Amino acid sequence: MKFGEEFEGQMVPEWQQAYMNYSCLKSILQEIQNSRKRSRTEGDLRPKKSVYRNFSGLTKRYSRAASYLELENQDIMVSTRIGEDGFERHETSIMKVAEAGRESELVFFKTLDLEFDKVNRFYRSKVDEMVKEAVALNKQMDALIAFRLKVDRPASPWTCSETVAVDVDALDSKEQRMKSLAEEMGIQEDGSNGRDSTKEITPEASVLDRIRLNKTQETPLSTIRNILKLSNQEELKFTKENLKKIEERLKNVFIDFYRKLRHLKNYSFLNTLAISKIMKKYDKIASRSAAKPYMEMVDKSYLTSSDEINKLMVRVESIFVEHFASSNRSKGMNLLRPKVKKERHRITFSTGFFVGCSVSLVIALVLFIHVRNIIGTDGQILYMETMFPLYSLFGFIVLHMIMYASNIYYWKKYRVNYSFIFGFKEGTELGYRPVLLLSFGLGTLALAAVLINLDMEMDPNTNDYKTITELLPLFVVAIVMAISVCPFNIFYRSSRFFFLAVIFRCIAAPLYKVSLPDFFLADQLTSQVQALRSLQFYVCYYGWGDFRLRRNTCRSSDVYNTFYFIVAVIPYWSRFLQCVRRLIEEKDISQGFNAIKYFLTIVAVCLRTAYSLNRGNTWRIGAWVFSALATFYGTYWDIVHDWGFLHNPSKTWLREKLLVPNKSVYYVAMVVNVVLRLAWLQTVLDFNVSFLHRETMIALLAILEIIRRGIWNFFRLENEHLNNVGKFRAFKTVPLPFNYGEEEESR
């Protein structure tokens, strides 16, 4: 692999603009090489030294002449000055410039200096942030140590002074190590290293009096407390359960902090290596010896010479192993440096196996229908009204999972950091292969059940179908639900629980703070309305006992028809409430306009549903008007706000930054989005195909909406990724367990 590709592959995606522009520098070198090739064909045009310059040296003193000759023998000279903002500025001068490629060489070094200054400045700012975080962590560890001591040794009836004396005398070696944590961190608020040896030991009570516990996990109760403007901080209860929770929170904070340090260290290493590589290429192309003096300057710069990050990493490792891994270094380092998850061949093999099974079952199903001449019989109509809605649920889910797997593939291809954006725990995010494995595994199970359940014959004596056969769809649903909530560490437990937690927050909206995974999943559910209606049909079909006679009496029930409205509205209502909460909490007026979009969609869905059940011109006109408004509003919001297009009407109508090289992809996506959003027209136009059953038409429209959502997903996350890149947001903010109060924070 070429270094340029390796360099790009190891970048932190959100910091991409802060790295050396290696490709740009290579293109300038290519121009220098082309210029030199052209000059060789025209003859050697390099300027010769002037005899007058050589003779004039006799009039100068020897020391100055020696210095002058030394400069003459150098290819470049790098000067450093401090700018007004306090950062270093570097400027490279070329001592001997050949006519061939002269302009390109000047451009090369000017670009190189600017890129290096950019990298140096960015690195220094990030190091300053890490030092400030280290100070905050030092305070947190002081509080944790005091909390541990309080839990291990409950308060006694002695006086304060007596307690201090006893505590100091009673400290064992482990507690002494805990008390000396600040010295291990080596970072103080005043910037000094270590504590004053003359300072008295402060009892843990003095630390605990100044802190409160932060509520890091939001609950509906905490939301209500916020609305009532009540304190959301927990009183300090010195129990082992609370201590365990605090240790777990602080352990995650340290892991995240160490991860930042590793990324920053790798940033320094990669950019230094890129400079070294590009200078070697320059020396080779320009036949010079400029790499050595330039790298000497780089070695003296803050990017390479500062050791704050290395020191912090060593101290964090020591503290983490001591206090969070029971002094087991191997265990501690495994937590701090989790192994990169490798793609297993068995996943690829299993995915291919289930794909083959799915294709084979589809072929078998087609042949079975043809041989039995099922199409056109009375049983076929009965099957489409009863069994097809049951099995279409799995088709919708499988298609959505395949679209999601495709999204993951292209997100990875174009370096969209989807795991960071969604907030997956490091190492637990699923790649496209595991998602395809799950989707085709479910598809194989569902198709096998369809093939078994395709029997149209019933018992002539009882007019009943076989109970076991008719219960097959319900069994498949039960298996899927059982796997989803399975507590054992199988079938990607971390991802399953993450998914269930987000589903719960969507249902409980607006009682939870809205994060990107919450509204992203809620948007997915708005494209799965027909799947939710299929679940409703499961309840009716098996709850009413229709499965015994394979009949559909659900639509004659007023309760069923009422819930037919409610189920369709739930996803849009959830998104509406999420937008309202964000409007109130974030004071973002755009969320108010987004809420209007979902409100219009709710009205349109209700009117279209009413028209499909009752018919009538009034319902039809209402459905037309509100569906058209919702479609126009939704299309505008997708393209302009969610995808970030149409902001440059005088240029390309696209974003300034695009990840897909071929711009036509974006134009096609916009057109397809508009066309697929108009699928509702079939509902109000009563457009039917003679050879397609009504349930088949409903399923096809639902499939088109899932495909539209899959396309939307890629561009929505691409836009979010570019927003993070623009703000260099590469890490989530991990909440700290302790709060020192406003006075402490203002110091």
What digits encode the pLDDT tens for the residues 614-658? 877 888 899 889 999 999 999 999 999 999 898 776 577 888 888
Angle at 706 between CA 701 and CA 711, to 5 degrees: 125
Q: What is the mean pLDDT of residues 276-297?
A: 87
Amino acid letter, residue 109? F
221 Rama class: left (phi>0) / alpha (psi -120 to 50) / beta: alpha
Distance in angstroms (rounded) separating the CA atoms of residues 292 and 271: 16
Q: What is the mean pLDDT of residues 520-530?
A: 95
429-436 CB contacts, 8 Å cutoff, 24+ apart: 429/495, 430/492, 430/495, 431/343, 432/405, 432/406, 432/408, 433/343, 433/347, 433/348, 433/351, 433/405, 434/347, 434/492, 435/401, 435/404, 435/405, 435/408, 436/351, 436/355, 436/401, 436/402, 436/405
> Torsion angle, CA of 690/692/694/697, rounded to 10 degrees?
-120
Helix ranges, 186-336 (H)? 204-208, 220-227, 240-286, 291-300, 302-305, 308-324, 329-336
Amino acid letter, residue 241? E
Q: How does pLDDT run across 72-104, given as a tens digit for each residue?
A: 556 677 777 776 666 777 887 776 665 555 678
Q: What is the mean pLDDT of residues 146-170?
A: 53
Per-residue confidence (pLDDT) for residue 45, from 0 to 100: 44
Domain ranges of the chain: 345-726
Per-residue confidence (pLDDT) for residue 292, from 0 to 100: 87
Question: Given a cut of 80, is residue 187 above it in pLDDT?
Answer: no
> Which residue would you say has higher pLDDT here, 544 or 593?
593
The rounded mean pLDDT for the chain is 81
Per-residue confidence (pLDDT) for residue 682, from 0 to 100: 74
Per-residue confidence (pLDDT) for residue 79, from 0 to 100: 75
Per-residue confidence (pLDDT) for residue 54, from 0 to 100: 41
Per-residue confidence (pLDDT) for residue 52, from 0 to 100: 38
Amino acid letter, residue 556? S
CA neighbours closer than 13 Å in the CB half-sphere of residue 386: 25
Distance in angstroms (rounded) separating the CA atoms of residues 359 and 747: 67
Distance in angstroms (rounded) separating the CA atoms of residues 548 and 226: 52
Q: Which residue has the tokens 């078998």?
A: 364
Per-residue confidence (pLDDT) for residue 463, from 0 to 100: 59
Question: Given a cut of 90, is residue 474 above it in pLDDT?
Answer: yes
Question: Given a cut of 90, is residue 393 above it in pLDDT?
Answer: yes
Per-residue confidence (pLDDT) for residue 688, from 0 to 100: 67
Q: How does pLDDT run across 446-466, given as a tens digit for each residue?
A: 999 998 887 666 555 655 677
> Torsion angle, CA of 300/306/310/311, rounded to 10 degrees?
130
Q: How does pLDDT run across 15-57, given as a tens digit for each residue?
A: 888 899 988 998 988 888 887 777 766 555 444 444 334 433 4
Taking Cα atoms as reference points, which of 679, 696, 694 lies closest to residue 613?
Answer: 694
Task: Write out the two tokens for 498.
Answer: 């993450």
Crossing angle between the packed helical segments 558-586 and 529-543, to the nearest 10 degrees = 140
Q: How does pLDDT run across 193-232, given as a tens digit for each residue?
A: 443 433 344 445 567 777 777 765 667 766 776 666 665 5
Confidence bin at 685 (pLDDT 50/70/90): low
* 3-state SS track over 578-617: HHHHHHHHHCCHHHHHHHHHHHHHHHHHHHHHHHHHHCCH
> Which residue would you say has higher pLDDT here, 178 or 420?
420
Question: Given a cut of 70, is residue 165 above it in pLDDT?
Answer: no
495-500 CB contacts, 8 Å cutoff, 24+ apart: 495/424, 495/428, 495/429, 495/430, 498/424, 498/425, 498/428
Q: Which residue has the tokens 């088109």?
A: 704
Confirm whether pTM is higher than 0.85: no
Per-residue confidence (pLDDT) for residue 175, from 0 to 100: 44
Q: How does pLDDT run across 228-279, given as a tens digit for each residue?
A: 666 555 566 778 888 888 888 899 889 989 999 999 999 999 999 999 999 9
Q: How does pLDDT run across 434-445, given as a tens digit for each residue?
A: 999 999 999 999
